[in-house]
Amino acid sequence: MKGRFIVFEGIDGAGKSTQIEKLRQKLVNEGRRVFITAEPTASVTGGILRDALSGNYARTASELAAMFLSDRVFHNVNPNTGIKQALEKGFDVVSDRYYYSSFAYQGLDSDINWVIDMNLNCPDIRKPDLCIFLDLDADKSKERIDTNRATVEIFEHSSLLDKIRRKFFDVFSMLKDENIEIIDASGTVDEVALKIAAAVDKLPKEE
What is the C-alpha to C-alpha distance for residues 160 and 164, in angstroms, rounded to an integer?
6
Q: In angstroms, give the least distance from the CB of 91 to ligand TYD.
A: 20
Q: Which letter, b or e, does each residue of 56-82 get, where b requires 16 or more Cβ atoms within 10 Å of its Cβ? A: eeebebeebbbbbbbbbbbbbebeeeb
Nearer to ligand TYD (CB atom), residue 20 or residue 193: 20
- Helix ranges restricted to H, 78-124: 83-88, 99-105, 112-120
Q: In angstroms, give the least distance from the CB of 156 to ligand TYD.
A: 7
Nearer to ligand TYD (CB atom), residue 32 or residue 36: 36
> No. of H helices and E strands in the chain?
9, 5
Residue 1: Cβ within 10 Å count = 12
Nearer to ligand TYD (CB atom), residue 76 or residue 106: 106
In 3-state terms, what secondary structure has residue 8? strand
Burial class (CB in 10 A: 0-12, 13-18, 19+), 19: buried
In 3-state terms, what secondary structure has residue 6? strand
Q: In angstroms, give the least distance from the CB of 206 to ligand TYD.
A: 29
Q: In angstroms, give the least distance from the CB of 30 to ligand TYD.
A: 26
What is the C-alpha to C-alpha distance for residues 4 and 32, in angstroms, rounded to an integer?
10
Nearer to ligand TYD (CB atom), residue 114 or residue 155: 155
Nearer to ligand TYD (CB atom), residue 32 or residue 42: 42
Nearer to ligand TYD (CB atom), residue 1 or residue 72: 72
Q: In angstroms, give the least distance from the CB of 90 to ligand TYD.
A: 25
Interface positions with ligand TYD (CB under 6 A): 12, 39, 53, 68, 96-97, 101-102, 105-106, 153, 155
Q: In angstroms, give the least distance from the CB of 129 to ligand TYD.
A: 18
